[in-house]
């Protein structure tokens, strides 16, 4: 029987989905993060949950890893993507083979869950960042069924979710491709739900919330767009990371799952076939790429992934070194740092409403808000000069 280590458990869901007796359910702990809970009376000690749990298993290191700066050739795709559109290009290559793509989507009610898509029409919700932990649901079971039926499958998620999937499957499949993201850490759905209570009070009926939207802030961490469903039309409302406590505390690293601060995947030893993130600092490399509107960091971690990438014609890509890619991506060097302020955030979550937390945030972070407002007014070229001066 699995002993749940609350310091290390990533909540990938492999044990819940593999249990043949369905005696593992979820229970909430700090920040509302979910952890597996075993019904000992129903458990038959088959050992399947221990077998698929990835947290104490060593990672296999690839000797064939390559790094690229990549930008999608389609401006419309680039505009809708968080960074350079590489995920869309990889997904399109799988769809072209009649394949299936799994990834995180923000569904009605602002719930983030992994879903199965079988074509471009279903794919739209898988684009862009969702800065909270996705519920993998039964998607590992669905992937296994698709693979056994001979379908080509692409599964995207955090590294711990990809590791959970691979341990769940228990063997390699030539028709499976995986994408792990360069992850800072994850926020909880329950904590985000409390923020949404505040957001709905302020904005009204919210149809969508888009982190990292380029529509008003360009390629940066700062832009958020709320789409409000008013009585006669959909209305877009732009705001910035410094204006709301959820996004601000996410970027500062205060609200992640406990395991994120000791993450074994926060390095260049990757578990996915592909690794995707933002190629921060790419301008300093002076590559023959137009990167102003976004650039993907693309790590190709094995020959299996390289063969698929060679089929993709929709990306402009330039090879760099892995060291260059990791230079401005802290999560390719070490996990996020656990700060004392996280305990304050837990106390607020347990004792305050979303409206009260927002009020407290604005009162205690006036300098952050003013600094963010000034930064938002800076021209793009000036921001580049400041970044260069810091190096």
Q: What domain count does the chain have?
A: 2
Q: Which domain holds residue 229?
A: 189-245+339-390
Last residue of a domain, one of 291, 313, 332: 332
Tell whether 241 and 93 lie within a shared domain.
no
Tell whether 296 and 354 lie within a shared domain.
no
In a domain, 307, yes or no: yes
In a domain, 77, yes or no: yes
Tell whether 289 and 240 lie within a shared domain.
no
In a domain, 350, yes or no: yes
Tell whether 203 and 148 lie within a shared domain.
no
Tell whether 174 and 94 lie within a shared domain.
yes
Tell whether 181 and 115 lie within a shared domain.
yes
Tell whether 343 and 328 lie within a shared domain.
no
In a domain, 47, yes or no: no
Question: What span, in angstroms and rounded, lies between the C-alpha atoms of 182 and 280?
Answer: 12
Please, what sign has the CA dihedral across residues 323, 328, 331, 336? positive
Tell whether 269 and 225 lie within a shared domain.
no
Question: What span, in angstroms and rounded, lies between the C-alpha atoms of 156 and 176?
Answer: 11
Tell whether 147 and 266 lie within a shared domain.
yes
Last residue of a domain, one of 332, 358, 373: 332
In a domain, 25, yes or no: no
Tell whether 207 and 176 lie within a shared domain.
no
Report if pTM > 0.85. yes
pLDDT (tens place) for every residue of the chain, 391 residues total: 788 999 999 999 999 999 999 999 999 999 999 999 999 999 999 999 999 999 999 887 777 899 999 999 999 999 999 999 999 999 999 999 999 999 999 998 899 999 999 988 889 899 989 999 999 999 999 999 999 999 999 999 999 999 999 999 999 999 999 999 999 999 999 999 999 999 999 999 999 999 999 998 899 888 899 999 876 788 999 888 898 999 999 999 999 999 999 999 999 999 999 999 999 999 999 999 999 999 999 999 999 999 999 999 999 999 999 999 999 899 999 999 999 999 999 999 999 999 999 999 999 998 888 887 787 776 656 655 655 555 5
Question: What span, in angstroms and rounded, lies between the C-alpha atoms of 156 and 179?
Answer: 5
Give the residues across from 238 on adjacent strands: 225
Tell me the residue ranges of DSSP E strands in the chain. Answer: 24-28, 34-38, 66-72, 100-107, 111-117, 153-157, 176-181, 206-211, 223-229, 234-240, 274-278, 296-300, 315-320
Last residue of a domain, one of 316, 332, 348: 332
In a domain, 136, yes or no: yes
Whole-angstrom Cα Rg for the chain:
21
Q: List all residues 6 or more positions away from 268 whose beta carbon is below 8 Å from its beta carbon.
A: 65, 299, 322, 326, 332
Please, what sign has the CA dihedral across residues 285, 290, 293, 296? negative
């Amino acid at each position: 029987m699995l002993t749940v280590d609350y310091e290390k458990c990533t909540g990938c869901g492999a044990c819940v989905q593999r249990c043949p007796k369905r005696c593992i359910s979820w229970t909430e702990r700090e920040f509302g993060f979910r952890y597996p809970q075993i019904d000992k009376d129903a458990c038959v000690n088959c050992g399947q949950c221990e077998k698929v749990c990835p947290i104490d298993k060593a990672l296999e290191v690839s000797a064939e890893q390559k790094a690229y700066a990549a930008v999608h050739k389609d401006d419309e795709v680039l505009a809708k993507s968080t960074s350079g559109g590489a995920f869309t290009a990889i997904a399109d290559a799988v769809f072209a083979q009649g394949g299936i793509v799994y990834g995180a989507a923000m569904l009605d009610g602002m719930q983030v869950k992994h879903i199965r898509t079988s074509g471009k029409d279903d794919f739209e919700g898988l684009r862009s960042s969702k800065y909270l932990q996705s519920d993998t649901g039964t998607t590992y079971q669905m992937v296994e069924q698709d693979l056994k039926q001979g379908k080509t499958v692409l599964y995207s998620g955090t590294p711990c979710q990809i590791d959970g999937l691979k341990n769940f499957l228990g063997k390699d499949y030539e028709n499976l491709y995986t994408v792990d993201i360069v992850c800072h850490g994850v926020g909880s759905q329950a904590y985000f739900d409390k923020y949404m209570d505040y957001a709905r009070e302020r904005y009204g009926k919210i149809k969508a919330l888009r982190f990292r939207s380029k529509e008003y802030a360009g390629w940066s961490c700062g832009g958020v767009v709320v789409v409000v469903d008013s009585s006669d039309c959909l209305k877009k409302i732009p705001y910035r990371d410094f204006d709301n406590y959820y996004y601000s505390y996410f970027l500062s690293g205060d609200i992640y799952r406990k395991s994120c601060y000791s993450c074994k995947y926060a390095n260049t030893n990757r578990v996915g076939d592909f690794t995707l993130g933002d190629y921060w600092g790419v301008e300093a490399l002076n590559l023959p790429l137009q990167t102003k509107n976004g650039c993907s960091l693309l790590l190709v971690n094995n020959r299996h992934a390289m063969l698929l990438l060679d089929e993709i014609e929709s990306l402009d890509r330039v090879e760099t070194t892995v060291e260059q890619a990791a230079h401005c991506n802290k999560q390719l060097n070490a996990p996020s740092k656990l700060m004392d302020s996280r305990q304050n955030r837990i106390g607020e979550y347990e004792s305050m409403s979303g409206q009260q937390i927002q009020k407290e945030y604005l009162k205690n972070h006036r300098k952050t808000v003013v600094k963010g407002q000034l930064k938002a007014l800076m021209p793009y070229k000036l921001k580049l000069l400041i970044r260069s001066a810091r190096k």
